[in-house]
Each structure stands twice: as structure tokens, then as C-alpha cells.
Amino acid sequence: MLRQPCKGSGRLAAMTRTTLAVRIERHGGPGVLAEREIPLPDPEPGEVHLRTQAVGVNFADLLMRAGIYSTVPPMPYSPGFEVAGVVARVGAEVTEWHEGDRAIALIRHGGYAHGLIVPSRNLFACPASLSPAEAAAVPVAFLTAWVCLFDAGNGKRGETALVLNAAGGVGSAAVQLAVQAGLRVFGTAGAARKREFVTSQLGAADCFDTAGDWEAEVLAAGGARCVDVALDALGGAATASCRRLLAPLGRLVFYGLSDAMPGWRQNWLTMARAWLKTPRFHPLSLIEPNIGIFGVHLLHLQAREEILRTRLEQIYRLVVDGAVRPVLDRTFPLDRAGAVAAHEYLHGRQVIGKVVLMV
């Protein structure tokens, strides 16, 4: 399902248009992002030309730019997994999409562009009630949260979920989905305003300071080994804390190592420190405490990627019904200056919810 925007030397003759794109041409801080006019080929059979309105920005985009994300094409390329836009042209054999249709694209890269060519199988209908910015803020955050909570974590009504970075894009989605499904939720977040938002606006039972002794606070609030499913995108010492808090038959779902890049650029010493602080689990060590460890990476679901379509359709129904909502922190223009500012803003760790680039 997550096919990349198509390109190839055999299509050069068809390239009659260009589009503005923000690309990664070398690794480094936000300032390395470049703005270019690039060729935009005609859509081939089974493809659609989507005119971009909004693009979701994810922490993985920052990792790509810094050079510490593994699933990337050769440079130069544009980051961007999720795009809301309008169908401009359709290729032969495309019957379900027509010019003027609002659509959402879920792709592996290429979203930071004013126009892109995507396989029609990567498109979803955009709910009429959502603005382009709201629509683009949903796919990656809510899909990651859903797969971690319910497919990997098997979260169920009446259980307790622990969500680290609960005010971020995935975290805010996970808290909402867990609360909506009847789980008690504890979260962690760095700033006081974030913690207040997670409890008062998202419905978590409590939210603790990431920089404090949040493990002890979870113990005080819920008791020993009270967590049934823990969502960890931090790594390092936080993973060890999650493991100690797991209830019998508890599940730790690990989906990131954000502690490896606290700054703007790659720092091999910082990365090594985060890697070494993250505990290793021998299978025998899981038996006596009766716990399980799961890893999630949406881009590597491969033969199981089709579940993303059904999950995203369920998520958009919940959004339209008002059961959950995209949390939109701030928008920036989809150009080099806007993308640089958006990346700098995410690096500042002050974001609540999602950041979106707008045309």
C-alpha cells in the first residue's frame, strides 16, 4: 500500500510540467533543506496527479534530514509521508478518482511538494468536514497510535495504557484512541502546559513530567505493575522504566528512539549513549514477569500493509463522528523557509499535536 511516488528514466519524455519541492540534498540541520523546481511527469496507468494543499510534518522527517533514518531513497528527495490535496489529473485505468476530488495520500516520501504523482491505491477520500490541514494531520500519527495500541499492544477496555510523549503527534492520537476505547491512560510530557492539555483536553487520568521521576509517580497513582500496554518512542532509560511497570501479561510497544537525537544534527556520541541505555531483552527474561515486547515500524509492514487501509478508514470515521480529533498545533508555508521553520519548531520540543505545511 505505501508505494513511493513513481519516477524513472523511462518517463523523462513525459515530463511536461514542473512543481516546487523542498528536498533533502545533504544531511545536517534544518538549514540544509533546499527549494527546487523539479519535473512532474504525467500520471501513468493507475496513477494520479495530486495537487498539494497540506502536508503533515513528522519527527521521522527530522531524522531523515539529519541522516539517521534508514528507510529513505537516494538523495536528493523530498520527505513527507502524508498529503491532503485535490486530484488534478488521472492516468489510464483510474476510474475511482476524478479531477477535483479531495484526497489524502499516504506515501513513503515525496510529500514536501506542490504536486506529486502517486499510485491510486495510496489515496483515501478526504472527509468533507475536515480542512486540508486537519486531514493531513491524521494519517501517520493516528495509524501509528492505532497499530501500537490495538494491533501490537492488544489494548482492551478496562486496561491501563502508558503513553510516553503524550502531547506529541502520535502521543496525542494514542491518548484519544485509548480513552475512546475505554482504557485508563497515564502519560508523560515535558512542559506543564502539555501535561495539563493531556489531562484536561485529551482525557488522560494523569500526566507526569518526563524530566521527573515519572516511574515513581505512575506507581503511586496506579500501584505496582499497573500498566497493561506501554507505548515507548523514547528509548534509553525510559524503556527500562516501562518494562518495570508492566503488569503480568503486559505489553511494551517500542516504536522509536527519539532520545538519539535531542538536537538539530546527528551526534554519534548521543546516539550511542541512547542506544546503550536502551535495555536488551533475552527471551528468558520475559517468562517470569509474563510480559511481551513488540516493535512497530509502519513502513516495514510489507505483506500486512493492507491493514493500514482498513485502520485509516476506521480512524477517519471516528474523526468525522467527533470521537477523536486531530490536534493541530501550527501551520507553516510549504516552501523552504516554512519547512526550515517547521523543523526548528519541532526540534524545540514545544509542539502539542501536529505541525502541518500548507500551500
281: confidence class by pLDDT, cuts 50, 70, 90: confident
Residue 295 and residue 254 in contact, taking contact as beta carbons nearer than 8 Å: yes
Summarize the confidence of residues 96-120 as an average pLDDT: 97
Q: Do 193 and 340 have their domain in common? A: no
The Cα–Cα gap between 204 and 175 comes to: 7
Does residue 286 lie within any of the structural domains? yes
- Report the greatest alpha carbon distance in the chain: 66
Q: Which of 334, 350, 306 is nearest to 136 (CA)?
A: 334
Q: Do 145 and 294 have their domain in common? A: yes
Beta bridge partners of 121: none
Q: Which of 240, 243, 224 is nearest to 291 (CA)?
A: 243
Q: What is the CA 321 to chain-centroid distance, rounded? A: 22
Summarize the confidence of residues 152-165 as an average pLDDT: 98
Lowest model confidence (mean pLDDT) among 14-18, 169-173, 202-206, 221-225: 14-18
Give the CATH number for residue 149.
Answer: 3.40.50.720
pLDDT at 315 over 50: yes
Q: What is the CA 228 to chain-centroid distance, rounded? A: 23
CA angle, residues 102, 322, 170, in degrees to nearest 5:
80
Number of H helices, E strands in the chain: 10, 15
Beta bridge partners of 56: 356
Lowest model confidence (mean pLDDT) among 155-159, 165-169, 235-239, 310-314: 235-239
Q: Which of 54, 226, 235 is nearest to 135 (CA)?
A: 54
Q: Determine the residue type at 160.
A: T
Q: Do 220 and 204 have their domain in common? A: yes
235: confidence class by pLDDT, cuts 50, 70, 90: confident
- Kindly state the percentage of the chain with pLDDT values over 90: 82
Q: Do 340 and 278 have their domain in common? A: no
Q: Which of 345, 265, 274 is nearest to 66 (CA)?
A: 265
Judging by beta carbons within 10 Å of its beta carbon (0-12, 13-18, 19+), is residue 267 exposed, middle or buried? middle
Does residue 63 lie within any of the structural domains? yes
The rounded mean pLDDT for the chain is 92
The Cα–Cα gap between 146 and 312 comes to: 9
pLDDT of residue 11: 47
Does residue 19 lie within any of the structural domains? yes
Residue 67's CB is within 10 A of a number of other CB atoms, namely 15
Q: Do 49 and 170 have their domain in common? A: no
Which three cell numbers mark 28? 545536517
Q: Do 41 and 71 have their domain in common? A: yes
Task: Report CA-CA distances (Å) from 116 to 11, 41, 165.
Answer: 14, 9, 32
Tens digits of residue pLDDT in 164-192:
999 999 999 999 999 999 999 999 999 99
Q: Do 69 and 119 have their domain in common? A: yes
Tens digits of residue pLDDT in 44-100:
999 999 999 999 999 999 999 998 888 899 999 999 999 999 999 999 999 999 999
Does residue 319 lie within any of the structural domains? no
The Cα–Cα gap between 139 and 88 comes to: 21
What's the residue count for the chain?
A: 359
Torsion of CA 282, 286, 291, 292, to 10 degrees: 30
Quote the pTM value: 0.91
pLDDT at 15 over 60: no
pLDDT of residue 70: 81
Beta bridge partners of 168: none
Q: Do 168 and 269 have their domain in common? A: yes
What total number of domains does the chain contain?
A: 2
Residue range of the domain that includes 41: 9-138+326-358
Beta bridge partners of 160: 184
pLDDT of residue 272: 64
Q: Do 14 and 84 have their domain in common? A: yes
Residue 205's CB is within 10 A of a number of other CB atoms, namely 16
Which three cell numbers mark 87? 486530484
pLDDT at 268 over 90: no
Residue 50 and residue 89 in contact, taking contact as beta carbons nearer than 8 Å: no
Tens digits of residue pLDDT in 237-262:
899 999 999 999 999 999 976 665 55
Q: Do 220 and 242 have their domain in common? A: yes
The Cα–Cα gap between 260 and 251 comes to: 23
Task: Report CA-CA distances (Å) from 124 to 85, 101, 104, 201, 305.
Answer: 11, 10, 5, 28, 15
Lowest model confidence (mean pLDDT) among 109-118, 138-147, 194-203, 275-284: 275-284
Q: Determine the residue type at 93.
A: E
Q: Determine the residue type at 168.
A: G
- More confidently predicted of 301 and 117: 117
